[in-house]
Amino acid sequence: MEFPYLFSPIKINTMELKNRIVMTAMHLGYTPVGEVTDRLIDFYALRAKGGVGLIVVGGCPIDELGGMASMICIYDDRFIPGLKQLTDAVKKNGAKIAAQLYQAGRYTHSATIGGRKPFSSSAVRSKFTGETPRALELNEIPEVQDKFAEAAVRAKESGFDAVEILGSAGYLISQFLSPITNLREDKYGGSMENRMRFGLEVVEKVRKAVGPDFPILMRLAGNDFMEGGNTNKESRLFASGAEKAGIDLLDVTGGWHETRIPQLNMCVPHQAYVYLAQGIKSAVSVPVLASNRINDPHIGEEVIRNGQADLITIARGLLADPDLPNKAKNGKSGLIYHCIACNQGCFDSIFRLQPATCLVNPRAGKEGELKSMPAPEPKKVLVIGGGPAGMKAACTAAERGHKVTLIEKSDILGGQLLLNQRIPGREEIVTADRDLVNNLKALDVVILLNKEADIPFIKEMSPDAVVVAAGASPILPDIPGIDGKNVVQAWDVLAGLIGVREKVVILGGNAVGLETALYLANQGTLSPHILHFLMTSRAESIETLTELLNNGNKEVTVVEMTKKAGKDIGLTTRWTIMGELRRLGVNIMTNTKAVGIKPDGLEVETEDGPDFLHANSIVIAAGSRPENSLVNEIESLVPEVYTVGDAKEPRNALDAIKEGFLVGLKI
């Protein structure tokens, strides 16, 4: 057994888990009116079948003011029959299931609760919603606490194996706990003991309502990461109190939604917040669950083996690959499709009020609809292009029993995914390439590298179906001086084919332009391991180290024609990239048009008139055009021809992989 710690059973009160992998609650957008749907059931049943030990669903609003109507509601008995179907489906497939009891307090937006005013410990404006809640009256507090207890009883009646009280991320219980949001002068405010009272009384009431044997979990912030807020020290005190009040497991995550410290983005290192769980573990004797940026069984095994936590969370990782636990258990960890923390399919969709899906798993959220059925008749399939769309099409077609050949003109598979490998904080995208390659090999797809797709080859192969996934090529804009020696393409810079000089202007402020800026502005700064060495050996002062971290050897300017740079970057990622560019001193000029390139810089037209930007190197990031000239030529030669990904129209990897998948299902 490769992962003995991860796959050892554990008992949480009376609940026996077969392994230490927990899928924590995620808002998925599959319950538009709060009732359980077939879509939700199909989604979680497949994750249960994939071998996860415990699934926590939710958040489940405990009252009508606690959250959005589109969450998995538990505030009324009318939800019980649907919830029962959900718990039956999960349990039938071998996992345990818990309901997360959710009351968002000042994180509730009034628009989502019919214009009513949300409540909190005190009337402190929320940066998350931009609204100011009202403070709960003293006599209202027991009523709210009772709602938690009533919801817990409903969960028990619905067949849940446990409940999880949500006390993290800046929701109602954290609002009482924090000196920033709790300004009360009664017994629920002031001292730490008083601020803990609301949450601990909730635990006591829930315990009393469900009895001594029913497992109660609590999710809490290991550090709020809010200026003046609670740190791990206060969290340890609260965790210890919660244990005494009747909690059976503490699920430790990072900070509040309002914090500027990233929690779930790709730039957050793996295991970044395990130290917070470790801190809580030192203060309690009940099991502790470590969360955030654990996407692989090797990482989970290490955390548990090292004694930093007793269980680990993999949530988005199971969106990406429902079979992750079974693959790990059965010696197939090399075939896991990892979550790459891109947030493009999941959180970015949720913020756009769309149901969650996944960049690496287009089937996520459509389990009932998009089934991979064996092909009625195996066909000879040729996929042209080894980027994400082509690889996904090849994998999907091969899984269905087709005989697939994939040809790629370069010497490596991955296409534009590979351009991310040098961009600090974006390197993990390359994992999506590695996972597809591993699966292609396991599926016996014939891979031909350094091979151009030409008519003689296609005629000789005589395929039944061709998928054109030849990608795109960068555009060279029509600007005087574009053929100058000082002009290079961003793709060549990111591929490491060419270097640039110290003063750089990047033409184009889309994702590629900004990520190229990030790459170049980081050149000459300290790498993480050199920083660690210099810091631990006290070779330089903190001030010098900070200076060396923030200042490289390039002066970078980005020129963008429109009024906003990075429009094609998802909401949940853009702010981290913009923050990094600011830290590194990158100058971003919007509403600025390039009009001419000279040997010593770029002529631009700004809102204030013409300007000249001195530079030694001009990097072009002006978009791309599809590579699909072959399609017309082969249409008369091959019965089925499909065009996918950037070859159809340049877009992002989410669209590319989805299209490859859908064509793979169709052939």
| Interface residue list for ligand SF4 (CB under 6 A) | 316, 319-320, 339-346, 358-360
How far apart CA 512 and CA 103 sit, in angstroms, is: 40
How far apart CA 413 and CA 415 sit, in angstroms, is: 6
Q: What are residue 587's phi and psi, to 5 degrees? A: -95, 120
Nearest distance, CB of residue 345 and ligand SF4, angstroms = 3
- Residue 127 DSSP class: T
Cβ pair 166, 219 in contact under 8 A: yes
Identity of the residue, 266 or 565, whose beta carbon is nearer to ligand SF4 in the bound complex? 266
Nearest distance, CB of residue 317 and ligand SF4, angstroms = 7
How far apart CA 325 and CA 94 sit, in angstroms, is: 12
In sequence order, the 6+-apart residues with CB closer than 8 A to the CB of 17 are: 9, 10, 11, 53, 54, 96, 311
Nearest distance, CB of residue 340 and ligand SF4, angstroms = 5
Nearest distance, CB of residue 572 and ligand SF4, angstroms = 9
Closest to 1 measured CA to CA, from 225, 288, 312, 325:
325
Nearest distance, CB of residue 166 and ligand SF4, angstroms = 21
Nearest distance, CB of residue 60 and ligand SF4, angstroms = 21
How far apart CA 293 and CA 267 sit, in angstroms, is: 10
Nearest distance, CB of residue 315 and ligand SF4, angstroms = 8
Identity of the residue, 432 or 584, whose beta carbon is nearer to ligand SF4 in the bound complex? 432
Identity of the residue, 181 or 357, whose beta carbon is nearer to ligand SF4 in the bound complex? 357
Identity of the residue, 12 or 342, whose beta carbon is nearer to ligand SF4 in the bound complex? 342
Identity of the residue, 303 or 429, whose beta carbon is nearer to ligand SF4 in the bound complex? 429
Residue 558 Rama label (left phi>0; alpha psi -120 to 50; beta):
beta
Identity of the residue, 361 or 405, whose beta carbon is nearer to ligand SF4 in the bound complex? 361
> One-letter amino acid identity for 278?
Q
Nearest distance, CB of residue 104 and ligand SF4, angstroms = 22
Torsion over CA: 184, 185, 191, 193 (sign):
negative
Identity of the residue, 153 or 662, whose beta carbon is nearer to ligand SF4 in the bound complex? 662
Six token digits for residue 601: 């810089």
Closest to 602 measured CA to CA, from 591, 615, 588, 621:
615
Nearest distance, CB of residue 262 and ligand SF4, angstroms = 13
Nearest distance, CB of residue 654 and ligand SF4, angstroms = 7
- Residue 495 DSSP class: T
Nearest distance, CB of residue 344 and ligand SF4, angstroms = 5
Identity of the residue, 343 or 489, whose beta carbon is nearer to ligand SF4 in the bound complex? 343
The helix or strand, by DSSP H or E, that contains position 249, with its residue range, turns out to be strand 249-253
Cβ pair 118, 131 in contact under 8 A: yes
Closest to 74 measured CA to CA, from 58, 87, 86:
58
- Compute the chain's Rg from CA coordinates: 27
Identity of the residue, 344 or 396, whose beta carbon is nearer to ligand SF4 in the bound complex? 344
Nearest distance, CB of residue 257 and ligand SF4, angstroms = 17
Whether omega before 59 lies within 30 degrees of 0, making that bond cis, reads: yes
Torsion over CA: 432, 435, 439, 445 (sign):
positive
Identity of the residue, 435 or 560, whose beta carbon is nearer to ligand SF4 in the bound complex? 435
- Residue 478 DSSP class: -
Q: Is 403 helix (H, G, I), strand (E, B) or coil?
A: strand
Identity of the residue, 341 or 518, whose beta carbon is nearer to ligand SF4 in the bound complex? 341
Nearest distance, CB of residue 81 and ligand SF4, angstroms = 30
Identity of the residue, 409 or 651, whose beta carbon is nearer to ligand SF4 in the bound complex? 651
The helix or strand, by DSSP H or E, that contains position 575, with its residue range, turns out to be helix 571-583
In sequence order, the 6+-apart residues with CB closer than 8 A to the CB of 306 are: none
User: How do 311-313 and 288-290 pair as beta strands?
Assistant: parallel
Identity of the residue, 360 or 526, whose beta carbon is nearer to ligand SF4 in the bound complex? 360
How far apart CA 503 and CA 613 sit, in angstroms, is: 10
Instruction: Work out the number of other CB atoms within 10 angstroms of the CB of residue 492.
Output: 16
